[in-house]
Amino acid sequence: MSLVTGAARGIGRACAEALARAGSAVAVADLDANGAEETARALAATYRVTARAYGCDVRDAGAIRAMVDAAASDFDGLDNLVNNAGIQFVAPLAEFPDDRYQAVRAIDLDSVFYATKAAWKYFVARGRGRIVNIASVQGLIGSPYKAAYVASKHGVVGLTKATAVEGAAVGITANAICPGAVMTDLVRGQAPALVQSYGGGISEDEALERAFLDAMPTKRFIEPSEVGALCAFLCSDFAISITGAPISIDGGWAAH
């Protein structure tokens, strides 16, 4: 069984779909319980796999633990964990609200630790586990106005490496996917703040292209399904020797 957080839409849903397509049962976790239910129904109908929805606020360590335990109980174990839930906030560092910094860190970094910790015993019991953390190209480089996000995603990459080293002896692999610009609600939601950061006078589409595509040699937004396909591969037996790796899927962004 594969447990995916933030799976109601975007990259998380694409990862859940790719895993279901590969034949895995899927636990769909999201703060949006209705969205999680819709995703689970679609997976079951399309791929003929067992899929269940779990509402979960990943800011709450106890809620994460309860959700992981419930899913592992319902599916009689756990094979793959995809830590995808994330948010973004854009502001100059000197004006960055403390509560927004803490919220981004809690969801984008702390939840990865708590979900991994909760899943660990189930992986050890099976002698196998695959952990895929959705980081970001901004976990490898720096970007202005995104102090909380950049710090959190760098933390995810570091946590992934520590997890991989510790998990190797018990059959657990851990890798971080580092996408560039994927056209999701998370990216679209940054547009108004980006327009302001450029001094106005441009459209939201122009602001998004300037912020993301200018840095990508391929000059195209990445499709969520591309990230999902990589996630499914990392969860497969073909990826048994890939661990501790931050893997870019960024149109060449980090190659600069």
- Give φ, ψ of 175 to 5 degrees: -140, 155
Do 252 and 217 form a contact (C-beta atoms < 8 A)?
yes
Active site residues: 149
Q: Which of 109, 174, 135, 134 is nearest to 16 (CA)?
A: 134
- Contacts of 206-212 with C-beta under 8 Å, sequence gap 24+, read 208/181, 212/180, 212/181, 212/187
**Partners of 28 in beta bridges:** 4, 53
Number of H helices, E strands in the chain: 10, 7
Residues in the chain, how many? 256
